[in-house]
A = this chain, B = another copy of it.
């Protein structure tokens, strides 16, 4: 029996306690272990362990306090508890902890730093060639994206019919004519270690990993596991990766396309997450048609696909009212030119939908589906970006980062959308933003409350310009570009 772990690690890093144990039988199914970690401050946390193959057992733990910790591991194969201690040093530069819900509709890192999701989707980027895996990370590093949605399981869908380098489950003996057969009680740690590598690499880039635990695009049978098999898989996955601070749980992509699943099944899976994840990572479930009941307590934020073709993020303010949780429209249609209507938007429309979400106090997610002869599409494979929207989303992110707080819907007119950063005086908030969408006024008239003055800026969200228009008081007319996608930002100076 041996145990190893790190004697020091930074706050919000991962302590990995590795213990040798039995290889006989089916350790995945027959052995259990868990660790209880207690900080000097008295905060206690019990983290589940898991079998990592080759007689190796692990408990991973993310400390969220600095200072000393002690721990105690118990396991079915351990004659007595194993104990140890370690020291947590300050967080590494640029590490702010896990993202949490903040101010009902928004997000912040654990240290209070605002987090404004500008996400993208690459469903199985980690299951492509090693070269493409690196390409994707390099692309992300130089992109506006601070979140990426991707699947645990391989994906079978248009433009994506390749086999992954490995499979999440151990192979079973195939029946005559059967293409795939799995022993769902045995996992392949190689597959999950690669997933963890992806999560870690994203974390190093400051990118949240929105993990899609189930999806219906499947020829392997992973979408048709029995409920006990699914729950077992959820337990294993959560035990392995919950400690990574950038993990978010998405129970499914297009949950309502999953064969044979009823609401009770999803609720049971959500229960598994709640039981296994001591950190209460952000949790959501993504629809194809009707939304899941996002008022369920385990749903931390609404992860939504648009429900109609002409209004997508234009509904964000209504959805906020309905669910009183952060809204991320992470499938609003993708920039591209493939045959499907969800994958052939212009960069202009992709960008517009982001701003429509933003100005309503919500968030959005990007995707890209440009057809090419190699059939390498960002939305599925990652690799490199071809579109025109990412540069504009960088501009959007820069704009959001320049604000003193999150945007809340505020006094829109019928032909603009307006938001503010709220302050003490609701009639004269610190920042007011107007967005004109597809309209293209060549000027607009404004009236400010008496006694106030605002610095006016005219934004062209497509041309990515922000032009100072002077300090304004009372009633004034502001010349605008007369092109679509203009915005006005008024910042209170008196």
Chain A interface (Cβ within 8 Å of chain B)? 309-311, 314, 337-342, 344-346, 349, 371, 413-416, 438-445, 482, 484
Please name 17 further chain A to chain B contacts, defined as beta carbons within 8 Å, in addition to the given A311-B311, A344-B442, A346-B438, sorted by A numbering.
Answer: A309-B415, A310-B310, A310-B311, A310-B314, A339-B441, A339-B443, A339-B445, A341-B415, A341-B416, A341-B439, A344-B440, A344-B441, A345-B438, A346-B484, A349-B438, A371-B442, A371-B443
Residues in B whose Cβ lies below 8 Å from that of A441: 337-341, 344
A440, B310: Cβ atoms under 8 Å? no
The CA of A177 and the CA of B311, in the complex, are separated in Å by 51
**Smallest CB separation, A353 vs chain B (Å):** 11
B309, A414: Cβ atoms under 8 Å? yes
The CA of A337 and the CA of B484, in the complex, are separated in Å by 10
B310, A439: Cβ atoms under 8 Å? no
Give 10 pairs: A residue, B residue, CB < 8 Å, sorted on A: A310-B311, A310-B314, A337-B442, A339-B442, A339-B443, A340-B415, A341-B441, A344-B441, A344-B482, A345-B438
The CA of A345 and the CA of B483, in the complex, are separated in Å by 9
B440, A337: Cβ atoms under 8 Å? yes
**Smallest CB separation, A150 vs chain B (Å):** 24
The CA of A310 and the CA of B318, in the complex, are separated in Å by 14
**Smallest CB separation, A107 vs chain B (Å):** 27
The CA of A341 and the CA of B341, in the complex, are separated in Å by 27
Residues in B whose Cβ lies below 8 Å from that of A340: 415, 441
Residues in B whose Cβ lies below 8 Å from that of A371: 442-443
Residues in B whose Cβ lies below 8 Å from that of A311: 310-311
A345, B310: Cβ atoms under 8 Å? no
Nearest to A417 among chain B residues (CB) is B309
The CA of A329 and the CA of B482, in the complex, are separated in Å by 25
Partner of A345, one of B341, B439, B444, B445: B439
A337, B415: Cβ atoms under 8 Å? no
**Smallest CB separation, A410 vs chain B (Å):** 17
Nearest to A335 among chain B residues (CB) is B440
Residues in B whose Cβ lies below 8 Å from that of A337: 440-442, 482
The CA of A444 and the CA of B344, in the complex, are separated in Å by 12
Residues in B whose Cβ lies below 8 Å from that of A349: 438
Q: What are the nearest 7 A-B pairs in CB distance?
A: A341-B415, A337-B442, A337-B482, A344-B439, A339-B441, A310-B311, A344-B440
A444, B310: Cβ atoms under 8 Å? no
The CA of A338 and the CA of B349, in the complex, are separated in Å by 22
Nearest to A349 among chain B residues (CB) is B438
Nearest to A443 among chain B residues (CB) is B339
Residues in B whose Cβ lies below 8 Å from that of A314: 310
Question: Which of A440, A443, A445 has the largest count of B CB atoms less than 10 A from its CB?
Answer: A440
Residues in B whose Cβ lies below 8 Å from that of A482: 337, 344
Residues in B whose Cβ lies below 8 Å from that of A440: 337, 344-346
Nearest to A445 among chain B residues (CB) is B339
Residues in B whose Cβ lies below 8 Å from that of A338: 441-442
Residues in B whose Cβ lies below 8 Å from that of A309: 414-415
Question: Which of A339, A349, A413, A415 has the largest count of B CB atoms less than 10 A from its CB?
Answer: A339
The CA of A445 and the CA of B337, in the complex, are separated in Å by 14
Residues in B whose Cβ lies below 8 Å from that of A339: 441-445
The CA of A469 and the CA of B201, in the complex, are separated in Å by 49
The CA of A35 and the CA of B337, in the complex, are separated in Å by 65
The CA of A124 and the CA of B374, in the complex, are separated in Å by 58
Partner of A341, one of B346, B414, B442: B414
The CA of A440 and the CA of B413, in the complex, are separated in Å by 31
**Smallest CB separation, A272 vs chain B (Å):** 34
Nearest to A438 among chain B residues (CB) is B349
The CA of A72 and the CA of B176, in the complex, are separated in Å by 96
Residues in B whose Cβ lies below 8 Å from that of A443: 339, 371
**Smallest CB separation, A306 vs chain B (Å):** 11
The CA of A338 and the CA of B440, in the complex, are separated in Å by 8
Nearest to A352 among chain B residues (CB) is B438
Residues in B whose Cβ lies below 8 Å from that of A346: 438, 440, 484
Residues in B whose Cβ lies below 8 Å from that of A344: 439-442, 482
Question: Which of A337, A338, A413, A444 has the largest count of B CB atoms less than 10 A from its CB?
Answer: A337
Nearest to A312 among chain B residues (CB) is B310
The CA of A413 and the CA of B339, in the complex, are separated in Å by 12
**Smallest CB separation, A434 vs chain B (Å):** 12
The CA of A309 and the CA of B415, in the complex, are separated in Å by 7
The CA of A484 and the CA of B337, in the complex, are separated in Å by 10
